[in-house]
């Protein structure tokens, strides 16, 4: 769906939203301002046309979004901007996303040309900095203080699998020149780059190493053509550091595709490597085996040195033990996580389960008690483990706070709030979101709930939900779990035979109920349907009058989304978790992720290989529980909704039916 089509189709809704906004806050002169001039200014900025931007800017001096026009003018001339003009803007619009962005832009421009005197005046920024600005900051301190002490901070930036900005290059060169970045440090970063799939960086680092540690582009290319074949042949220069690293590179690339075959080739040669490298390779094989849901992963992890495992590898060590339903191994793997990681709700819950399964019932109950006041996926499961799932939902949702009408009106009159609504009206969603984040950061619970209620009333449902979720102790679950478009969703659920709470659980996670949202991938509307999926659904429903423009309509979108979800739920054992995974990642993947033997639904969810889909399924099912309660539907435990996931069936027949 073309975003322009979506914008035109939503004109009426945006006018209604604007009317609500006007009722709260907007001064009479707002109607006289020209949004078309503002959009023309934005177009000029995006095309780098300073002359056209300067021509239209005077017409917008009193527009609610005038700060954006000023920012664009300064940003296009940032390399030659006057310091007083920049600082005047920062003074006029403090604590705004535009001011913080301009400050960072300004500092980078100064750092690029080495103007450290002016750089010192505005550095550091108030809200943090990215890697590029951090490197300019180190360059500045090195220039100011002399000596090499400032370089110590740069070394920490070296150990990343990501490509770093050019601003860091002179610092890294200095570290290499003075010996603070050793050959082994450089090899370590090349290894990180390989793990991250950043092959260009790995090649660039390796090509610049001493002969004994160097891997040529030709050697990289030979392995890349067929990593498993290269690993099977084992024709590496095993006695050189470069040959050893090339063998590990072949292992990484082969295991990423097929861990079982990679391991079969690897075990023939691994004893030729030093012990540390051998254990590192064992860990990478076990990690990919766990991600590929191989039953042997739990056993293979025992060949790796835990101290060498990354946090991600350690997390998958827990999941491999879960999939094997080896509770002592689950407990040991969780205990090996960092202190911070052990506090994540997933690992607290599974630690309690492991304790209960190994006889430490009282200790398990104590852990459940610390979690049961949370409405998250694992908080709800913990409450059920204590036997109070239904009563806990009653407690969580009781007595929501109510905002004051006068305070709501005052909130709506704030210029930054008016910018949020106007930006949303003009379909400038990222800018609107940034403004809102600045408005609500640091607010106490009462102020957050006031802001959330205002957002609900002007139909910025995503802002309302996200803001209500930020409260610490005083909550309003009616705002957290908004249920707009009730008539359309109820009809879709009834007509397609889907639980209404499930549809709401999906829509809340997919779109936060923004009707005209279009994702970067092209998914459209409240249920985030891809255009080709919508065409397929229209065909299944024999809707001959369907046109692509109809997908943005909430009624059509909800109905099509309900049909699509139900279609796969019926083909995936009627298990909501499997169907939600299919909705997010595709039905073939959901089928491929099923176990070789039956497994508890919660374990299946925690071992979904895609981080995004795993998080998505958890949130959809937790949402479903809250919506079912809000709608007064009979209580069905989350553990019952999860059920038991049976072994996989034939995926290929299903794939052929997929839209």
Catalytic residue IDs: 510
Residue 239: count of CB within 10 angstroms of its CB:
9
Closest C-alpha among 228, 304, 306, 305 to residue 269: 228
Which strand (E) or helix (H) includes residue 486?
Answer: helix 486-496
Q: Show Cβ contacts of residue 196 under 8 Å, excluding neighbours closer than 6 positions.
A: 161, 162
Peptide bond into 124 cis (omega under 30): yes
Distance between CA atoms of residues 234 and 228, nearest Å: 10
- Collapse the DSSP code of 644 into the 3-class scheme (helix H, G, I; strand E, B; otherwise coil) and give the result: strand
Distance between CA atoms of residues 423 and 65, nearest Å: 8
Q: How many helices (H) and strands (E) does the chain have?
A: 42, 2
Closest C-alpha among 77, 70, 121, 76 to residue 92: 70
In the DSSP assignment, the letter for residue 300 is: H
Which strand (E) or helix (H) includes residue 600?
Answer: strand 599-600
Cα first-last separation, the chain: 17
Answer yes or no: are the C-beta atoms of 81 and 102 closer than 8 Å.
no
Instruction: Tell me the backbone φ, ψ of residue 95, rounded to 5 degrees.
Output: 55, 40
The sign of the CA dihedral 307, 308, 310, 312 is negative
Residue whose entry in the numeric block shows the structure tokens 């779990």: 481
The sign of the CA dihedral 306, 311, 313, 316 is positive
Structure tokens at 123: 């550095």
599 - beta bridge partners? 645
Structure tokens at 515: 């009707």
Answer yes or no: are the C-beta atoms of 268 and 234 closer than 8 Å.
yes
Instruction: Tell me the backbone φ, ψ of residue 518, rounded to 5 degrees.
Output: -130, 120
Structure tokens at 24: 């709260």
Distance between CA atoms of residues 191 and 585, nearest Å: 29
Closest C-alpha among 324, 320, 323, 325 to residue 336: 320
Closest C-alpha among 359, 362, 330 to residue 347: 330
Which ranges of 26-96 does DSSP label H, i.e. alpha helix? Answer: 35-46, 50-56, 66-76, 83-92
Distance between CA atoms of residues 51 and 56, nearest Å: 9
The sign of the CA dihedral 603, 325, 366, 342 is negative
Answer yes or no: are the C-beta atoms of 321 and 330 closer than 8 Å.
yes
Distance between CA atoms of residues 629 and 633, nearest Å: 6
Radius of gyration of the chain (CA): 28
Give residue 387's region: left, alpha or beta (phi > 0; psi -120 to 50). left
Closest C-alpha among 421, 417, 429 to residue 7: 429
Distance between CA atoms of residues 38 and 411, nearest Å: 24
């Amino acid at each position: 769906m073309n975003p322009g089509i979506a914008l035109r189709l939503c004109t009426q809704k945006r006018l209604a939203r604007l009317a609500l906004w006007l009722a709260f806050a907007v001064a009479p002169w707002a109607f006289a301002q020209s949004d078309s001039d503002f959009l023309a200014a934005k177009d000029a900025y995006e095309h780098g046309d300073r002359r056209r931007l300067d021509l239209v800017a005077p017409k917008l001096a009193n527009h609610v979004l005038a700060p954006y026009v000023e920012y664009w003018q300064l940003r296009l001339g940032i390399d030659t901007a006057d310091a007083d003009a920049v600082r005047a803007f920062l003074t006029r619009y403090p604590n705004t996303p535009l001011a913080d962005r301009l400050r960072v832009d300004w500092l980078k421009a100064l750092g690029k040309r080495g103007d450290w005197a002016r750089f010192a005046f505005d550095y550091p920024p108030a809200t943090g900095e990215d890697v590029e600005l951090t490197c300019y900051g180190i360059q500045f301190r090195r220039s100011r203080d002399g000596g090499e002490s400032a370089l110590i901070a740069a070394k920490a930036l070296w150990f990343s699998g990501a490509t770093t900005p050019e601003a860091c290059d002179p610092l890294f060169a200095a570290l290499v020149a003075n010996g603070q970045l050793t050959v082994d440090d450089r090899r370590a970063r090349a290894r990180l780059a390989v793990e991250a799939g950043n092959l260009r960086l790995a090649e660039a680092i390796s090509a610049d190493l001493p002969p004994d540690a160097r891997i040529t582009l030709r050697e990289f290319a030979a392995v890349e053509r067929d990593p498993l074949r290269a690993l099977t042949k084992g024709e590496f220069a095993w006695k050189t550091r470069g040959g050893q690293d090339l063998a590990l590179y072949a292992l990484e690339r082969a295991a990423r595709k097929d861990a079982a075959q990679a391991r079969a080739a690897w075990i023939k040669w691994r004893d030729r490597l030093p012990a540390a490298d051998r254990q590192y390779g064992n860990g990478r094989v076990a990690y990919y085996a766990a991600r590929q849901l191989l039953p042997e992963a739990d056993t293979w992890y025992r060949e790796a040195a835990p101290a060498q495992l990354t946090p991600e590898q350690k997390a998958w060590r827990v999941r491999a033990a879960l999939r094997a339903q080896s509770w002592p191994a689950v407990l040991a793997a969780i205990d090996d996580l960092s202190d911070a990681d052990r506090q994540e709700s997933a690992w607290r819950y599974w630690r309690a389960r492991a304790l209960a399964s190994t006889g430490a019932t009282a200790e398990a109950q104590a852990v459940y008690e610390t979690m049961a006041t949370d409405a998250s996926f694992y908080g709800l499961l913990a409450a059920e483990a204590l036997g109070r799932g239904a009563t806990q939902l009653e407690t969580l949702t009781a007595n929501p706070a109510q905002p004051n009408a006068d305070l709501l009106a005052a909130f709506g009159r704030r210029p930054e709030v008016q910018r949020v609504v106007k930006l949303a009206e003009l379909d400038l969603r990222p800018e609107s979101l940034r403004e809102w984040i600045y408005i609500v950061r640091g607010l106490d619970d009462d102020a957050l709930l006031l802001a959330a209620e205002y957002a609900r009333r002007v139909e910025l449902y995503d802002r309302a939900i996200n803001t209500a979720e930020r409260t610490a102790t005083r909550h309003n679950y009616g705002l957290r779990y908004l249920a707009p478009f009730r008539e359309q969703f109820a009809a879709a659920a009834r007509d397609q035979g889907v639980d209404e709470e499930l549809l709401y659980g999906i829509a809340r996670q997919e779109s936060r109920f923004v009707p005209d949202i279009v994702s970067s991938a092209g998914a459209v509307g409240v249920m985030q349907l891809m255009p080709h999926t919508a065409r397929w659904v229209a065909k299944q429903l024999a809707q001959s009058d369907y046109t692509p423009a109809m997908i943005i309509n909430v009624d059509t979108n909800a109905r099509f989304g309900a049909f699509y979800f139900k279609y796969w739920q019926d083909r995936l054992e009627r298990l909501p978790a499997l169907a939600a995974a299919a909705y997010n990642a595709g039905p073939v993947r959901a089928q491929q992720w099923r176990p070789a033997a039956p497994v508890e639904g919660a374990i299946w969810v925690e071992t979904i290989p895609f981080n995004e889909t795993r998080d998505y399924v958890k949130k959809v099912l937790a949402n479903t529980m809250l919506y079912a309660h809000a709608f007064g539907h009979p209580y069905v435990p989350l553990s019952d909704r999860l059920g038991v996931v049976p072994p996989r069936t034939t995926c290929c027949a299903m794939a052929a039916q997929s839209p």
